[in-house]
Amino acid sequence: MEPVTSRVYQSLSQLKSPLFRGSLLTSASVLERHGTDESYHAARIPDAVAVASCEGDVQAVLRTCSDHGFPVIPYGAGTSLEGHIHALRGGLSLDVADMNSVLSVDPDEMTATVQCGILRSQLDNYLRDTGLFFPVDPGADATLGGMISTSASGTTTVRYGRMRDNVLGLKVVLPGGKKIQTGKERRGCSSAVDLTSMFIGAEGTLGVVTEATLKLYPRPEFSRSTVCTFQSMEDAIRTSVKILQQGVGVSRLEFVDETSIQAVNRAYQSWHEEKPSLFLEFQGSETSTKDEAETVKAIANKNDVIDVKTATELEDQKKLWHARHNSYYAILALRKGGKGVISDACVPISRLAECIRETKEDIADTNIFSAMIGHVGDGNFHVIFVVDLNNLDEIRTAKEITSRLSHRAIRMGGTCTGEHGVGMGKIPYLKAECDATSLELMRTLKKTLDPKGIMNPGKIIPE
């Protein structure tokens, strides 16, 4: 253990009571877990893990680490795909997973205030009997704090927006240990400099989000699902564009390529048609969703759809969505011990078909297994490579294709990251995506808020 670590360790130990009531862990397995996310990035373990039990703990940790210039890496569920929780310069992993209470639910205002260590599934269970729900679903069972820090999105974003659209206010502990309440715990404030947005998507580089007030929505009275199968990817994308342009109120609009469906069929012995497909969901009343599903069918028919299946019973809808909901893990399961290298490029929907086609051509020359799924409602799609982590050639090829895809997306007016964030993995692309003055401004803001550079160093901002 380096001297600085032991100093901080001692400081935190001294703080134990009453200022720091959490626990401080240094066992190898705990360090390993806190330095490893769900991505292909090799582990980078912290010097110690501080498990915070309350906001006061977070303040104590940040004050102490600020005094010692010691890095702090906020840790929630470790579901990052871009190495957000990797301790690139050592330091303290600040685990907030125990801070997972729902502090209040206001059914009239349709808001919930939660501690940020709460998992998406925990919040969902808690809300089950209220008639309300929180819509953002990035797939992984992340913490709300993690979802805020990457401004996550997911399958329902086409209707309900991303995290940025669904957070009303935050409590944040700043690097020196002071705390602020940003925004109001209600809808529609116009006033002053928007501090809330500053911390959404900041990936823990500006402070630690400890509480959030979230927008909730009424659980829909009725839902209906449709799957459209096409001969070509282009037909499917053209159909999506038309659906969005006509303002059909879809709650999900997902594209799954034929390879992903093959993977699902192989993994689950199922018999979904192995063609490019659109998966749609409609929420509302029985008549309004019927109306919408019929409009979609008419649009699909004009774009040479092969088959349209619709379901209204919950069980039938689940069966219909099976190939989409299970695609990611089915793709990974194709290869024992395989890890995913996943891109999340995002392009204007008018360029989506072109971007997918060019990327498919790029992949065609390699022999790594890959598949594509996409939240086409917001132009966001994933290429998933299943690589053997011991095969450096494969990893290099996957990274090269991902790199070309990121630059392609940026060139087409899109972004290298639609939902996973920048982390350590996408820093090079940010330079291509943002102008030099914007990057300089980000650096200046970082320096202003975190003058000692303790918060999640080496993430987001190119140095």
- φ, ψ at 28 (rounded to 5°): -55, -40
* DSSP structural state of residue 346: B
Q: Report the C-alpha gap between 393 and 399 in whole angstroms.
A: 10
Q: How far is the CB of 418 from its own copies (least distance, A)?
A: 5
| 418 binds its own copies, rule: CB under 8 A | yes
Binding residues among 41-70 for its own copies as defined by CB under 8 A: none
- Find the part of the chain contacting its own copies (CB under 8 A) among 44-52, 55-63, 72-80, 108-116: 108-116
Q: Report the C-alpha gap between 214 and 364 in whole angstroms.
A: 43
| 72 binds its own copies, rule: CB under 8 A | no
Q: Which residue has the tokens 């194709």?
A: 334
257 touches 371 (CB < 8 A): yes
Which residues contact residue 242 at a Cβ distance below 8 angstroms, ignoring those fewer than 6 apart? 299, 302, 303
Taking the least distance from each CB to its own copies, the nearer of 123 and 345 is 345
Taking the least distance from each CB to its own copies, the nearer of 191 and 269 is 191
Q: Report the C-alpha gap between 133 and 60 in whole angstroms.
A: 34
| 414 binds its own copies, rule: CB under 8 A | yes
Taking the least distance from each CB to its own copies, the nearer of 5 and 210 is 210
Q: Report the C-alpha gap between 453 and 71 in whole angstroms.
A: 8
The pair of three-digit structure tokens given for residue 120, joined into one six-digit string: 């998406």
Q: How far is the CB of 221 from its own copies (least distance, A)?
A: 8
| 170 binds its own copies, rule: CB under 8 A | no
Interface residue with its own copies, options 275, 417, 455, 458 (CB under 8 A): 417
207 touches 455 (CB < 8 A): yes
Q: Smallest Cα–Cα separation from 48: which of 87, 98, 81?
A: 87
Interface residue with its own copies, options 322, 445, 452, 453 (CB under 8 A): 445
- Find the part of the chain contacting its own copies (CB under 8 A) among 114-122, 228-236, 285-293, 300-308: 285-293
Taking the least distance from each CB to its own copies, the nearer of 148 and 227 is 148
Interface residue with its own copies, options 14, 125, 350, 391 (CB under 8 A): 350
Size of interface with its own copies, in residues (CB under 8 A): 92
Is 367 in a helix, a strand, or coil?
coil
Q: How far is the CB of 303 from its own copies (least distance, A)?
A: 14
The pair of three-digit structure tokens given for residue 398, joined into one six-digit string: 């996957």
Q: Report the C-alpha gap between 8 and 61 in whole angstroms.
A: 9
The pair of three-digit structure tokens given for residue 257, joined into one six-digit string: 């390529």
Interface residue with its own copies, options 10, 125, 301, 444 (CB under 8 A): 444
Q: Report the C-alpha gap between 447 and 16 in whole angstroms.
A: 30
Q: Which residue has the tokens 């969902």?
A: 124
Binding residues among 211-240 for its own copies as defined by CB under 8 A: 217-218, 220-221
- Find the part of the chain contacting its own copies (CB under 8 A) among 5-13, 335-343, 354-362, 436-444: 436-444
281 touches 296 (CB < 8 A): no
Taking the least distance from each CB to its own copies, the nearer of 35 and 414 is 414
Interface residue with its own copies, options 148, 250, 256, 347 (CB under 8 A): 347
The pair of three-digit structure tokens given for residue 65, joined into one six-digit string: 């680490």
| 110 binds its own copies, rule: CB under 8 A | yes
Taking the least distance from each CB to its own copies, the nearer of 197 and 265 is 197
Q: How far is the CB of 135 from its own copies (least distance, A)?
A: 11
Interface residue with its own copies, options 139, 161, 428, 453 (CB under 8 A): 161
